[in-house]
Amino acid sequence: MSSTSKIRVGVVGASGYGGLELLRLLSFHPDVQVTYAAGSQERDGTVADMYPFLSTYSHLQLEKYDVDRCADRCDAVFVALPSGASGAIAGQLHERGRLAIDLSGDLRLPADTYASWYQKPPVAPKVIAQAVYGLTEWNRNEIRGASLIANPGCYATAVLLGLLPAVKAKLAAPDRPLIVDAKSGVSGAGRSATLGGQLGELSDNFYPYRVGKHQHTPEIERYLAQFGLAEKSNEASHPPIVFTTQLLPAIRGIYASCYIPLGADVQVEQVVDIYRTTYEGEPFIRIHDPGKYPELKHVRGSNQTHIGLFVDNRTATLQVFSALDNLQKGAAGQALQNFNVAMGLDQTTGLSQLPIYP
């Protein structure tokens, strides 16, 4: 595309970790021009003034959000604000005919479920009903041409990508819960200062949080049912998950260890074949060979998800290990992937970076 025909893109919430990662990724995208950035007013200046690592944005002012200015300047907008604020703004921009991609949890669940798990007033049900769930590998046909997209949660992305092939293949024993032990780097909590996020608290430490009440639980259960079951059904038709989240002394990364009770004898080579067939041609999914397992440094700084598999025949349990970067495939990277699909572009555009190592 020429500069005159580039897609005009905005980022609302540009001063958060997700928004900053979006700006970084968009700088690699040849088909877009970032024309609007709204964020917290730490001080007056351009994005490059405030965040020197984004030196290519010396022309872009970071300003207070205004729906009319945003809609006038943009064809598509990423909204990367906290849950409780983000979805309503995405809905405003969608009403003005803009492609809106919401990175919060506001549009992922029905209003009553959202209110129960997030403990916040939900967005209007009519807005939620128009949103397409953006798990790209499993909902690509709906995302293509969509104008309002609910980007999945970081934990939900890792867990769903890890569990869905097994659930779809009916490997799981019926009526037994699936166990998910998931860990995240501290950037998943955002930039706001918290005691638990301070170096002196988190370094050399490790602990669970939101035990039994993490807001991604109903999201995982809902979309396991929607994408994993052959027949049309509701959320209650699939066994629940036992979902525990833990905080790692690391900046980036999600690592989900999933335990699926098997309904029949199966060998790990068969399971690997199922996963590779399911994700055949998917550029951001890598299935490891039997006996090899993902590490956070395999995916850090990339939009990739790595999955490892093991069948414990002694206990008839399938173990699935899923790793991704929470700011990339778990947030900004997947949002850009969804943007590409919605706009009819190659899904990998702007996302070809290899992981950072070490």
**Any idea where the domains of the chain sit in the sequence?**
3-130, 155-326
Q: What pLDDT does 192 receive?
A: 67
pLDDT tier at 235, thresholds 50, 70, 90: very low
Could you tell me what percent of the chain has a pLDDT over 90?
83
Position 194 scores a pLDDT of 75
**Angle in degrees, CA 181, 227, 100, rounded to 5:** 90
Q: How far apart are CA 104 and CA 150, in angstroms?
A: 8
Q: What angle do CA 166, 172, 175 make, to 5 degrees?
A: 145
Say what the pLDDT of residue 35 is. Answer: 98
Rounded distance between C-alpha atoms, residue 135 and residue 15, angstroms:
25
Q: Please give the pLDDT value at position 89.
A: 97
- Whether domain 3-130 has CATH 3.40.50.720: yes
Model confidence at 245: pLDDT above 70: yes
State the DSSP code for 264: S
Q: What is the CATH number of domain 155-326?
A: 3.30.360.10
Mean model confidence pLDDT for the chain: 93
Helices marked H in 235-332 = 268-278
Exactly one of 70, 74, 154, 258 is catalytic; name it: 154
Whether residue 230 has pLDDT greater than 60: no
In this predicted structure, which of 2-11, 25-34, 52-61 has the lowest mean pLDDT? Answer: 2-11
Beta strands in 1-105 (DSSP E): 7-12, 32-38, 62-63, 76-79, 99-102
Give the ranges where 189-267 is alpha helix by DSSP (H): 199-202, 216-228
- Beta pairing, strands 148-150 & 132-133: parallel
For the chain, strand residue ranges (E) read 7-12, 32-38, 62-63, 76-79, 99-102, 132-133, 148-150, 178-184, 207-209, 241-247, 254-261, 285-287, 305-312, 317-324
pLDDT digits (tens, 9 = 90+) for 130-143: 999 999 999 999 99
Task: Categorize the per-residue pLDDT at 238 as very low, low, confident or very high, splitting at 50, 70 and 90.
Answer: low
Q: Does residue 198 sit in helix, strand or coil? A: coil
pLDDT at residue number 193:
65
pLDDT at 229 over 90: no
Q: What predicted TM-score, i.e. pTM, was given to this entire model?
A: 0.94
Residue 8 one-letter amino acid = R
234 has a pLDDT exceeding 80: no
Radius of gyration of the chain (CA): 20
Q: How many angstroms separate the CA atoms of 234 and 241, rounded?
A: 15
Q: 219: closest CA among 101, 350, 16, 83?
A: 83
Active site (annotated) includes residue 258? no
Reported as a single tens digit per residue, the pLDDT across 272-330 is 999 999 999 999 999 999 999 999 999 999 999 999 999 999 999 999 999 999 999 99
CA distance 63 to 46: 9
